[in-house]
Structure 1
Amino acid sequence: MGRNSTSARFGGGDSPNSGIPRRLFLRGVAAMSGVAAAMVLAEPALAAPGEARRRREHDPTLYDAIVVGAGISGLAAAKSLVAAGRTVKVLEARGRAGGRIHNHPTARLGLTTDAGAEFIGPTQNRVDALAREYGVEQLPTYDDGSSVFWNSGQRRLFAAQPGLPLDGGVIAALPVVAEIEGICAGFPVGEPWRHPRAAEWDALTWRQWVEQRTSVATARMVLDLAASAALSVKGDQFSALYMLNYVASSTDENTGGPSYVARLLGTAGGAQERVCNGGAALIPLRMAEALREHIVFDAPVRAIDQAGDHAVVVSDAGTFSARRVVVAMSPAISHRIEYIPALPERAALCAGYTMGRIGKFAAVYERPWWREKGLSGQAFGNATPTDVTFENYAEGNHILMGFVSADEMARLDGAPEQQVVDECIDAFAGYFGDEAREYIDYSLFRWDDEEWSWGGPVATSAPGVLTTYGHALRDPAGVVHWAGTETSDYWTGYMDGAVRAGERAAAEIVAVSR
């Protein structure tokens, strides 16, 4: 939510000293305090498995695998398992497929906009392959002309390519970027706890790590913004080790560096290089159509009982049995499921993860007037409420899209829709000109309102979590395997990482069930 995804991309009352949001603390308490807290969090209340089995329909089939979640990661797992000849059932809480990839109609004309993850770039080979397989056309993100850098009310233009504003503070950040590049070159991608300096970096927040390396205010702002632009979380709320792994993962097995940072944050040649004609959700929607006989919608899973010789999965749509289970959910919300027997290390891991806060706003125009002014439609900086913008498309219409992230999304979570629209349009006018006020339609999607997401685009880990419990991120727990973009090695946080994670979980099951 190229944020693709899904980055992780929380509310009032946070401790000013801990750097850990109150919402993270409350979720951690819920995850660690057992079934009682899980019953409070998961509405409707979770019945004991025995009672649930009595009052819900039971599917007598013993499946080879049940996949929890029909986002692109769960669908990738199911697709691979079906291709391997395994019997599969997919249980999805929502009434749609796609998870954090979602097409949302505009308010007036009903045009399709990307409300969630949307971008595809170089080395994102797995999601690119799926787009091609299902006939989803990819279009280049517009990247010509000048982009806007906004710093505390000061507007500065810079060439969209190579995409670096000639600002003294930005230049002061370059030595830190060079250090990040050096770290990424030898990084144990997907297993950051194995790095020789893992304990040191996991003890720091990203902001603390940056502040140790530069005292220049603009450099600090830019490096913090780079993180919040990707994750929708401010730099004092997640581990420096997490961020370094996130940057190092922006490649594939065969490519590596240099230019990890540029690949992660860039447009042409970077992770935001292409968008999908008709919306990225066409990929999971077409996958779901091909797997339709295997999917049950409106089936939130309440419990996974593996106390017997196979797993029993309790959902609102009934109970199902399987030899193996794939939980294709963010660790920030997978603790809402009751696991029998309990999984204390996985619960502790999940307690340390929290979702970013994010919304996406898109304004539709009759023509791309910013191009006429020599502008790319891209902006970044510390303006409110949108910190990053891009040009998008919707059925032949040109759009300016902006992310509402982190603290700004928290501020606007409960605000009237028109207030959010007006503030976003004001930001667009500041970036690109008063023509921004002549929009003909708009869309607004607030991911914090989504019951089965709790925000987006990706979950981040608090300091100390990865070095203590990181192994539980992917290690199977009995017959339960883990997917979701957060569990990927490469391109964690992106659609490509989600696909990789699903395919990896499926491969684990095939390997043990031959």
Structure 2
Amino acid sequence: MSGSRERASKDTTVDVVVVGAGFAGLSAAERLVSTGRSVLVVEGRDRVGGRSFSGEVAGVKVDLGATWVSPRHTAIRDLASRVGCSTTEQFDHGRNVLWMAGRRRTYSGTIPKVSPAVLVDMTRMQTAVNKLVATIDVNAAWETPGAARLDAISFGEWLDRKNALPNTRALMAIISKVQWGCAPGDVSLLHVLRYIRAAGGLHHMLDVEGGANQDRFLETTQEIAKRVAERLGDRVRLETPVRRITQGDEGVTVRTDSGEIHARYAIVTTAPAHRATIEFEPALPEQTEGLTRTWRMGALSKAFVAYEKPFWRADGFSGEALTDTGTVFITFDVSPTHSGPGVLMTFCDPRVFDGFDPETRRDLVVRQLVDLYGPQARTPIDYLDHCWGSEPFAPGGPHPAAGPHATMNYGKALTEPHGRIHWAGTETAGEWAGTMNGAVLTGQRTAERIVTLLTRDVREGASR
């Protein structure tokens, strides 16, 4: 089992209640249990993993959400190793495909080989981005010199001011849709720079070999969460959305549809926007309320198309493609072996994808794969997709698309405790914010702070 679905018929009392069974919540619970504290993790979904969610296509397990890890993501790698999950390299051998301005071309490496003018422009823009990224305070972006100026405009406005060429803008738009689930005009420049700095720089964020996309987990990322939850046993309670959290001098009370949980402290690991689904008493400070309103979630969809074999490999292609038009805007080869089945993972723009029925979505994706990889792509053996923006509970992803002014005005509330309520989750990380690694680190760090507070409470109680 990866969590209990049995709903409590009476109140429960523990040292710490953790809201959310993603990597932050599970890591916090694991650390607290290791120190002898009593813990209950409550999760509104019917599964653990948060934005890590697995599916199956043509008998192959695939990641519908969070997927890759860098060699530098040691926290999530250590967690995976402890529960018996292993990595496999992301396949990237051969030529990549670029479909831009109605023309199909091939290239090798991370950055497409385009016309000399565009190549110069892309280099100019990367240099400008890297120069700004180097100034960012990754732990408190709002305290970065010139932060107000950087947060006053969108990423798209900045590209306008830098007179980026159309092809450069198209490539930056792909990065924006993959990372923040939105167009460049919908996300603050400061927010973009913070995430790039947190990811280890632009190249590390985009690269396969040595970068953030180097490895995948054979068992899928959600399997890691499932195995951690199995170790926690009945300390994890699924289908238990939190409705209200009240607090006083002695502790907190968490109200769910099935009962109340009393604890000394609470750790809330939901994305900032989803904090708004919980009623707090006393009410959240204005800055924290503002965070829930302005750090809205982006939206991103994925589709997996399976074939008998990864036929593109025989033609010398890596399975990586970038496109500036249509539903699909990026593809990767996630085939288990060279002999098959062949599986292409595609990222899809929800604006021209989510609103259609499953059969239409499939046709839209396959049609584009034919353009990218030829007529053999026309006859898949299986198909699977997932629309994160349409999820019924805690929708959206992969990350918040914080617009202009949101980081300066409300960013500090990401981690500022509200009395006995503490926050964790990948958004609250400094380094590695936006990654599974960041989520694990914030869960562990927040748990350690709570252990310190619990120890202090015992000492103060004994001295009275």
Distance apart, 1:225 and its partner CA: 2.0
What are the superposed Cα offsets for residues 161-217 of structure 1, whole Å, 9 maximum, x if unpaired? Answer: 354423332431211211222222342113110111100010001101122113411
Match of 1:398 among 342, 346, 354: 342
What's 1:132 paired with? 81
* TM alignment of 1:170-189, pairs within 5 A: 170-189=119-138
Runs of 4+ in 1 over 6 A off after TM superposition: none
* TM alignment of 1:90-489, pairs within 5 A: 90-106=41-57, 109=58, 111-159=60-108, 161-167=109-115, 168-251=117-200, 260-307=201-248, 309-343=250-284, 344-393=286-335, 397-405=341-349, 409-489=350-430
What's 2:459 paired with? none
8 A contact 1:56–1:316 mirrored in 2: no
What are the superposed Cα offsets for residues 290-345 of structure 1, whole Å, 9 maximum, x if unpaired? Answer: 11121111100000001452100001231101111111110121210001011122
1:512 aligned onto 2:461: no
Unaligned runs of 5+ residues in structure 2 are: 1-6, 456-464
What's 1:66 paired with? 17
Q: Distance in 1 between matches of 2:48 and 2:432?
A: 21
Q: Distance in 2 between matches of 1:56 and 1:136?
A: 32
What's 1:35 paired with? none
Unaligned runs of 5+ residues in structure 1 are: 1-54, 252-259
CA pair 315-350 structure 1, distance change in 2 beyond 3 A: same
- What amino acid does structure 2 have at the position aligned with 1:150? W
8 A contact 2:307–2:343 mirrored in 1: yes
8 A contact 2:332–2:346 mirrored in 1: yes
Distance apart, 1:232 and its partner CA: 1.5
The TM-score, its normalising length taken from structure 1, stands at 0.84
SS at match of 1:452: coil
8 A contact 1:359–1:444 mirrored in 2: yes
1:87 aligned onto 2:38: yes
What are the superposed Cα offsets for residues 41-87 of structure 1, whole Å, 9 maximum, x if unpaired? Answer: xxxxxxxxxxxxxx9844242x2110001011110111111112211
8 A contact 1:119–1:276 mirrored in 2: yes
CA pair 386-190 structure 1, distance change in 2 beyond 3 A: farther
8 A contact 2:310–2:335 mirrored in 1: no
SS at match of 2:273: coil
CA pair 56-82 structure 1, distance change in 2 beyond 3 A: closer
Farther off after superposition, 139-148 or 126-135 = 126-135
Distance apart, 1:426 and its partner CA: 1.0
Q: Distance in 1 between matches of 2:393 and 2:367?
A: 31
Distance apart, 1:377 and its partner CA: 0.2
- What amino acid does structure 2 have at the position aligned with 1:318? G
Farther off after superposition, 391-400 or 447-456 = 391-400
Q: Distance in 1 between matches of 2:110 and 2:385?
A: 30
8 A contact 2:329–2:347 mirrored in 1: yes
What are the superposed Cα offsets for residues 353-380 of structure 1, whole Å, 9 maximum, x if unpaired? Answer: 1111111100111111000111000011
Distance apart, 1:394 and its partner CA: 5.2
8 A contact 1:363–1:400 mirrored in 2: yes
CA pair 170-423 structure 1, distance change in 2 beyond 3 A: farther
CA pair 306-326 structure 1, distance change in 2 beyond 3 A: same
8 A contact 2:98–2:112 mirrored in 1: no
Aligned residues: 445
Q: Distance in 1 between matches of 2:228 and 2:168?
A: 43
- What amino acid does structure 1 have at the position aligned with 2:301? G
CA pair 162-414 structure 1, distance change in 2 beyond 3 A: closer
8 A contact 1:170–1:222 mirrored in 2: no
The TM-score, its normalising length taken from structure 2, stands at 0.92
Q: Distance in 2 between matches of 1:266 and 1:64?
A: 42
Distance apart, 1:284 and its partner CA: 0.5
SS at match of 1:461: coil
Q: Distance in 2 between matches of 1:80 and 1:184?
A: 33
8 A contact 2:155–2:192 mirrored in 1: yes
Q: Distance in 2 between matches of 1:440 and 1:385?
A: 20
8 A contact 2:287–2:409 mirrored in 1: no
Cα-Cα RMSD: 1.7
Q: Distance in 2 between matches of 1:90 and 1:298?
A: 11
Q: Distance in 2 between matches of 1:339 and 1:56?
A: 22
